[in-house]
Structure 1
Amino acid sequence: MKKQTNFSTKGNVTNVGSLSVNRMLPNQYVNKVGPFVFLDYVAPFIKKMISKSGMGAHPHRGIATLTYVIQGEEEHYDSLGNYAKIHSGGVQWMKAGTGILHDGNLNYDTETDSKFVEGFQFWINLPSQNKAEKPAHLAIQANDVPQKKLADESGWIKVIVGSYEELSSQIPNYSEQFLYHIHLEAGKQFSIKLNDKMESAAFLPTAKVTLNDTEFEAGEFVEFSRNEGLIEIKNTDRSAIDILLFGGEEYIEPVVSEGPFVMNSEDEIILAYQDFYEGKYGKMNLSAKI
């Protein structure tokens, strides 16, 4: 049985530093999908020069941030001294835990001739016990992101978070979660079965897609019902398309968010701000860049 669609919507355009982004989650219908509580999409654009300054150092607590760069390169540096640069297809993951400062810089990929930039940032809510852990960081280059070809030369699937068949991401799982990048060739289709009570959503970056016999437009965010069932993806276009499919088990603890902090109570939010203003998240040290 195919899963039903709960709703579809398009994001709101907002500015983050010098970037114009489409904020897809939270939206007018839902605040979270499984552990995912935030999704910003930087649509493809041409960047004419390399910027040297970051987006602006800022704190996080209680979540893990995940940046997935489709095209371009992204630098990460934080108050623990971590520094990394990923290129097109790479992933930066940072567990904020008890609190951290970080900054990032999105540029065109200096390893290719393309000046196009495109990418995503997700926030993944942590269970309360993991919110109390020390921060951590992972940088995963494109070649280390698990990927496999689909049957019948239909395309490929990348496992950014979680597992699919024999593929497993390096990113830690604190709950059942998944984030897949699915690439479908023209006229092809792909189906995936999700278990009961799994929250799931799809985002269609740049092309229309047919999901469970309903056509959705480019730029739409589509949430599915929680019952066990299939998600069938059909590409009726004349060119290849991409889709992000993500979700996981329901986050059942209380969720209280304000600004860059996602905690389980108002008191924890207050403490997050107090610790930040008291300097407990450390200081940025740009000399850590290599």
Structure 2
Amino acid sequence: MATRNIELIVKPSTPHFVGDGFRVMTLIPSGSGLSMQRMNPFIMMDYNPKFHFPPSTTPKGVGVHPHRGFETVTIAYKGKVAHHDSSGGGGVISEGDVQWMTAASGVLHKEYHEEEFSKTGGEFQMVQLWVNLPAKHKMSAPKYQAISKDSISKVELPANRGQVEIIAGSYEGAAGAASTFTPIHLFNTRLKSGGTASFSFPENFNTGLLVLEGKVKINATQAVDTDHFALFENKGEDFQVSATDDAVFLILSGQPIHEPIAAHGPFVMNSKEELIQAFQDFNEGKFGYLS
């Protein structure tokens, strides 16, 4: 098998607030040439690097807003988030948990710091991905997958050097808990200093890596620092990641959806006409009700 190398490293950008509870850097799409289409089916990545929120009697977050045409995937590393949506999904996303919400034909949802976390304050670190849906599934029924830390499959690496957590897809025969509409691999990997993990994905799968803790080297040559995102070439299949320090990184790899992308605000469809219809349906109350 041929080696897959890095095409681009995206440096951290200046964070901005989404609502008053999420201090994020937008890594996909980015001004560095990493477009929605280039990383499709991963069409958006907001990363909330470690940030300390002071105690608050009023939970911070984002109020009721709509989505259509894609899925949101929220991975909690530090802190807790409470979620509610108009299709009946909801719950608390605690450290190590994952929320996989399929907006599809349309939902309203809101997300806030969990009440007790808000009262005490503390360190907060999250990733939210938008995962595109193929045209034939964009108007399917919404659904909600609450994936607890305990339900995530884990593969221990040799010599007690680390662990791979499989959120979606498979790694060395272990399958992830999330169900997906298209082939997707989503792994959290934790390596001790000096540890190495090997990965292999079809070369046409769009593949990237976000370093959340420490520093890593790809194929023993190219360094990727904390809060940096590495985009891989669509050449070759295999690569190795070694930890220069104790490290945590998120790997995402997915089969591209070769369809037009029409995106505006909270809607991601295939055409301008479908976007206009989405806004009309939202204004007519067809996304349900959420207070």
Q: What TM-score, normalized by structure 2, do the two folds share?
A: 0.91
CA drift of 1:82 comes to 2.3
Q: Which residue of 2 aligns with 1:252?
A: 258
In the alignment, the residues of structure 2 paired with residue 57 and residue 140 of structure 1 have an alpha-carbon distance, to the nearest angstrom, of 23
The C-alpha deviation readout for 1:124-154, integer Å capped at 9, x for no partner, is 0001111110111111111111212111211
Q: Percent identity?
A: 29
1:174 aligns with 2:176: no
In the alignment, the residues of structure 1 paired with residue 138 and residue 116 of structure 2 have an alpha-carbon distance, to the nearest angstrom, of 33
2:34 to 22, 27, 30: 30
The C-alpha deviation readout for 1:235-290, integer Å capped at 9, x for no partner, is 122xx1111110211110111111011111111111111111111101104xxxxx
CA drift of 1:107 comes to 4.4
1:186 aligns with 2:193: yes
In the alignment, the residues of structure 1 paired with residue 105 and residue 121 of structure 2 have an alpha-carbon distance, to the nearest angstrom, of 38
Contact 1:261/1:269 (8 A) holds in 2: yes
CA drift of 1:216 comes to 1.9
Contact 2:59/2:114 (8 A) holds in 1: no
SS of residue matched to 1:97: coil
In the alignment, the residues of structure 2 paired with residue 193 and residue 141 of structure 1 have an alpha-carbon distance, to the nearest angstrom, of 26
1:21 aligns with 2:45: no
Q: Which residue of 2 aligns with 1:91?
A: 98
In the alignment, the residues of structure 1 paired with residue 188 and residue 90 of structure 2 have an alpha-carbon distance, to the nearest angstrom, of 25
SS of residue matched to 1:274: helix
Cα distance change of structure 1 residues 38 and 221 upon mapping to structure 2, 3 Å threshold: same
Moved more, 39-48 or 178-187: 39-48
Q: Which residue of 1 aligns with 2:237?
A: 229
In the alignment, the residues of structure 1 paired with residue 273 and residue 19 of structure 2 have an alpha-carbon distance, to the nearest angstrom, of 29
1:165 aligns with 2:172: yes
Which segments of 5 or more consecutive residues in structure 2 lack a partner in the other structure?
none
1:46 to 49, 52, 55: 52
Which segments of 5 or more consecutive residues in structure 1 lack a partner in the other structure?
286-290
1:10 aligns with 2:16: no
CA RMSD of aligned residues (A): 1.8
In the alignment, the residues of structure 2 paired with residue 195 and residue 76 of structure 1 have an alpha-carbon distance, to the nearest angstrom, of 34
In the alignment, the residues of structure 1 paired with residue 99 and residue 280 of structure 2 have an alpha-carbon distance, to the nearest angstrom, of 27
SS of residue matched to 1:204: strand
CA drift of 1:109 comes to 7.2
CA drift of 1:106 comes to 2.7
Query: What is the aligned residue count?
Result: 281
Q: Which residue of 2 aligns with 1:288?
A: none
Equivalent AA in structure 2 for residue 259 of structure 1: G
CA drift of 1:66 comes to 0.6
Contact 2:78/2:124 (8 A) holds in 1: yes
In the alignment, the residues of structure 2 paired with residue 41 and residue 107 of structure 1 have an alpha-carbon distance, to the nearest angstrom, of 19
The ranges of structure 1 where at least 4 consecutive aligned residues each deviate by more than 6 angstroms after the TM superposition are: none
Moved more, 241-250 or 166-175: 166-175
SS of residue matched to 1:197: coil
Q: Which residue of 1 aligns with 2:271?
A: 265
Equivalent AA in structure 2 for residue 224 of structure 1: F
Cα distance change of structure 1 residues 108 and 247 upon mapping to structure 2, 3 Å threshold: farther
